[in-house]
């Protein structure tokens, strides 16, 4: 019996025992420190105390983002929390004050608690207050209203809107700048905006640590235990498995479907155990355990060939189902399903798949009508192909070049290039290539044709569909050189991603962030795909970029009614022409 297996089962929301996923229970668990991943923010907060450079911190974010874990790390670094010791609702030390969760405090006491945290600097202390966004906005509103009243001023509706705008803007930007409200200065940090993708491989590495599985070495079920088999397979191919896991979470993050740490822990723990207990392994007959309960299947929420319904409670599994990653045709499909080539896998995985291959595969040959594959057999064949793809995605023996190709097939043609752009500084020619792609895509979007050497982008007024008129009004023009692609450092004292870059398009004094969906959209436009209404984040980005381009590069308005001049772009059989039309003295002039 391995108690760590029970712990893993307690940190997802499939079974009845999910208490291990709660922060309060985690702190007291004997496995908490073994699973813990050090956060840069905890180092930053602890350093303000040690250096006596006291600051007031307010931390907000989604449930499961690790807010309580950061507080625990701060207390440990300061020597204020012993192993297994729980947290109080609020507590004050000689140089540090914390509030575990202001949302748990009665509403009529929240302003008092907030004031105490904000004024900690005057008492030679740093403070860390954790709160949900709603109670935080409400408490600040009351605090500012009281402050205005003490000064004999009126707290107007405009004041309230400005206050909330200031707070929400900081939560969105998440910059390392102090905010001042009601005379108090503090750092407001939205942990939901911190990139946490790099924690996934670290968490997985902690889960498969050999020291946590020593109890399994003397178990009589060790040779038939799918849980231990998963630990061994993942440990043997950790670099390969963690690469796919990390990029899956990266793809979600870049598409505004960020996973919290708790959600990642839930999916990874389920992928190892399948929610099986040691007692179930010992007392029940498990059919084809090393395949049905394999990490590759469980990560996708599958039991062998079949999808399990109840596991979509795990967000990572729900999203991977929506994406249909294992339905994506791969370049190696012919070798896998026609040649039945399993040389992509290690010997133990080959052995497992060979028997299943003989059981489920259909032999490709010309057959008479009475030998045709039945619909049910064809359905099983399709399910088997998806299973083999899951194993290929998770375990295949790929070199770096092959791995990049595989990731691009699954996550989009520009995926790995985008990952390079956000991970470190790139040569200027890479940025120039992206600039050319964006210019060409925008030209196609605005005019319906390829620029073909043209260096000026017309901003057109056209129908909001895929049909381009023969004549379109030109609202402005952008020189190609005005569209500068740049990388900006995204690091701050509480960011856990070293050297992370923001890819952006500079438009005079504005900077427009280029997301992965936007970069894919530009490339798809050039390739001929122009549909964009299936991704709200993408359509919002497109609309924002269009507005920024018009704001900076639209043609100036006429100085008077007599000075009426417009430009139109005309599609002709010999190409596109831009004509200027003016109206003067009841005459229409075109040139």
Contact present, 373 and 364 (Cβ < 8 Å): no
What is the C-alpha separation between 564 and 553, in angstroms, rounded? 19
Dihedral angle, C-alpha 196, 201, 204, 205, nearest 10 °? -130
User: Which residue's structure tokens are 């010999």?
Assistant: 574
Is 23 a domain residue? no
Contact present, 424 and 499 (Cβ < 8 Å): yes
Helix, strand, coil abundance in the chain, percent, nearest 5: 50, 15, 35
> Residue 517: CA atoms inside 13 Å, Cβ hemisphere, count?
19
Do 143 and 105 fall into the same domain?
Answer: yes
Sort strands 456-461 and 96-99 into parallel, antiparallel or unpaired: unpaired
What angle, rounded to 10 degrees, do the helices at 238-254 and 199-207 form? 140
Do 111 and 209 fall into the same domain?
Answer: no
Is 119 a domain residue? yes
What is the C-alpha separation between 316 and 294, in angstroms, rounded? 17
What is the C-alpha separation between 552 and 431, in angstroms, rounded? 22
pLDDT of residue 364: 46
CA angle 290, 407, 444 (to 5 degrees): 150
Do 103 and 117 fall into the same domain?
Answer: yes
Do 176 and 243 fall into the same domain?
Answer: no
Tokens of 135: 């109670």
- Residue of 165, 74, 164, 54 whose CA lies nearest to 117: 54
- Residue of 229, 212, 341, 319 whose CA lies nearest to 276: 229
Contact present, 326 and 300 (Cβ < 8 Å): yes
Do 247 and 392 fall into the same domain?
Answer: yes
Is 52 a domain residue? yes
- Residue of 222, 316, 310 whose CA lies nearest to 271: 316
pLDDT of residue 557: 55
Contact present, 460 and 445 (Cβ < 8 Å): no
User: Which residue's structure tokens are 């029940």?
Assistant: 284
Sort strands 306-307 and 96-99 into parallel, antiparallel or unpaired: unpaired
71, with CB counted inside 10 A (0-12, 13-18, 19+), is buried
User: Which residue's structure tokens are 């840069």?
Assistant: 40
- Residue of 168, 166, 187, 195 whose CA lies nearest to 490: 195
Query: In the chain, count of helices (H) and strands (E)?
Result: 24, 16
Residue 558 CB neighbour total at 10 angstroms: 12
pLDDT of residue 540: 86
Contact present, 420 and 500 (Cβ < 8 Å): no
Outline where DSSP puts E strands in 235-384: 302-303, 306-307
- Check the CA dihedral 433-435-437-443 and report its sign: negative
Cα–chain center distance at 564: 49
Do 216 and 343 fall into the same domain?
Answer: yes
Do 152 and 221 fall into the same domain?
Answer: no
- Check the CA dihedral 506-508-511-516 and report its sign: negative
The Cα-based distances of 558 to 133, 329, 414 in angstroms read 47, 55, 43
| Domain encompassing residue 390 | 199-411
Do 173 and 203 fall into the same domain?
Answer: no
Which 3 state secondary structure label does DSSP give 561? Answer: coil
Tokens of 478: 């952008």
Q: Of 365, 384, 411, which closes a domain?
A: 411
What is the C-alpha separation between 131 and 311, in angstroms, rounded? 30
Sites in the chain below the pLDDT cut of 70: 15-28, 361-373, 464-467, 530-534, 556-564, 583-591
Is 247 a domain residue? yes
- Residue of 97, 81, 99, 76 whose CA lies nearest to 89: 99
What is the C-alpha separation between 191 and 73, in angstroms, rounded? 15
pLDDT of residue 371: 55
pLDDT of residue 249: 97
pLDDT of residue 55: 95
Q: What is the pTM of this model?
A: 0.90
pLDDT of residue 535: 76
Q: Of 169, 193, 217, which closes a domain?
A: 193
What is the C-alpha separation between 544 and 507, in angstroms, rounded? 12
Is 567 a domain residue? no
Tokens of 51: 């250096």
- Residue of 479, 491, 510 whose CA lies nearest to 422: 491
Which phi and psi angles does 510 have, rounded to 5°? Answer: -110, 155
The Cα-based distances of 87 to 28, 117, 121, 276 in angstroms read 9, 17, 22, 31
Do 352 and 232 fall into the same domain?
Answer: yes
Enumerate residues 6+ apart whose C-beta is below 8 A from 499: 423, 424, 425, 489, 491
Is 563 a domain residue? no
Do 159 and 246 fall into the same domain?
Answer: no
Is 589 a domain residue? no
Q: Of 411, 441, 461, which closes a domain?
A: 411
What is the C-alpha separation between 345 and 323, in angstroms, rounded? 25
Which 3 state secondary structure label does DSSP give 461? Answer: strand
pLDDT of residue 367: 46
Contact present, 144 and 163 (Cβ < 8 Å): yes
What is the C-alpha separation between 498 and 48, in angstroms, rounded? 21
Is 581 a domain residue? no
Do 242 and 347 fall into the same domain?
Answer: yes
Per the structure, the count of domains in the chain is 3
Do 387 and 439 fall into the same domain?
Answer: no
pLDDT of residue 560: 55
Q: Residue 189: enclosing H or E segment and its boundaries? A: strand 184-190
């Amino acid at each position: 019996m391995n108690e760590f297996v029970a712990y893993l089962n307690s940190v997802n929301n499939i079974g009845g025992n999910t208490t291990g996923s709660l922060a309060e229970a985690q702190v007291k668990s004997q496995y908490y420190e073994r699973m813990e991943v050090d956060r840069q923010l905890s180092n930053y907060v602890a350093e303000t105390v040690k250096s006596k450079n006291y600051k007031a911190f307010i931390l907000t974010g989604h449930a499961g983002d690790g807010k309580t874990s950061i507080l625990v790390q701060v207390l440990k670094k300061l020597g204020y929390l012993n192993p297994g010791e729980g947290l109080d609702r609020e507590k004050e030390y000689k140089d540090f004050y914390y509030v575990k969760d202001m949302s748990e405090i009665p509403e009529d006491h929240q302003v008092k608690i907030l004031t105490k945290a904000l004024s900690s600097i005057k008492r030679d202390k740093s403070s860390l207050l954790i709160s949900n966004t709603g109670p935080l906005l409400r408490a600040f509103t009351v605090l500012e209203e009281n402050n205005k009243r003490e000064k004999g001023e009126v707290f107007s509706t405009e004041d309230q809107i400005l206050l909330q705008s200031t707070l929400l803007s900081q939560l969105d930007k998440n910059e390392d700048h102090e905010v001042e409200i009601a005379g108090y200065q503090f750092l407001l940090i939205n942990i939901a905006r911190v990139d946490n993708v790099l924690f996934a491989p670290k968490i997985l590495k902690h889960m498969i640590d050999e020291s946590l599985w020593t109890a399994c070495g003397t178990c009589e079920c060790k040779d038939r235990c799918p849980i231990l088999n998963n630990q061994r397979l993942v440990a043997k191919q950790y670099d390969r498995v963690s690469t796919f896991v990390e990029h899956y979470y990266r793809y979600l993050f870049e598409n505004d479907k960020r996973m919290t740490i708790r959600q990642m822990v839930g999916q990874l723990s389920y992928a190892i155990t399948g929610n099986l207990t040691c007692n179930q392994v010992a007392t029940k007959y498990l059919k084809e355990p090393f395949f049905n309960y394999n990490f590759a299947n469980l990560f996708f929420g599958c039991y062998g060939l079949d999808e399990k319904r109840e596991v979509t409670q795990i967000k990572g599994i729900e999203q991977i189902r929506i994406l249909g990653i294992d339905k994506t045709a791969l370049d190696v499909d012919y070798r896998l399903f026609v040649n039945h080539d399993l040389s992509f896998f290690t010997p133990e995985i080959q052995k497992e798949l060979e028997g299943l291959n003989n059981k489920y595969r259909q032999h490709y040959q010309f057959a008479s009508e009475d030998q045709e594959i039945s619909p049910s057999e064809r359905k099983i064949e399709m399910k088997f192909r998806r299973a083999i793809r899951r194993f290929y995605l998770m375990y295949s023996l790929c070199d770096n070049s092959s791995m990049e190709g595989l990731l691009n097939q699954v996550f989009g043609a520009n995926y790995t290039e985008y990952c390079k752009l956000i991970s470190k500084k790139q040569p200027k020619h890479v940025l120039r290539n992206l600039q050319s792609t964006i210019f060409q895509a925008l030209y196609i979007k605005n005019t319906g044709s390829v620029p073909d050497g043209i260096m000026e982008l017309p901003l057109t007024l056209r129908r909001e569909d895929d049909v381009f008129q023969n004549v379109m009004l030109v609202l402005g023009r952008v020189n190609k050189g005005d569209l500068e692609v740049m990388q900006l450092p995204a690091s701050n004292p509480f960011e856990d991603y070293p050297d992370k870059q923001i890819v952006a398009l500079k438009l005079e004094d504005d900077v427009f962030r280029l997301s992965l969906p936007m970069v894919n959209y530009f490339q798809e436009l050039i390739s001929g795909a122009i549909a964009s209404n299936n991704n709200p984040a993408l359509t919002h980005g497109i609309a924002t970029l269009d507005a920024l381009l018009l704001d900076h590069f639209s043609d100036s308005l006429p100085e008077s009614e007599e000075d009426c001049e417009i430009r139109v772009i005309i599609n002709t059989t010999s190409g596109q022409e831009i004509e200027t039309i003016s109206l003067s003295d009841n005459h229409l002039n075109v040139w």
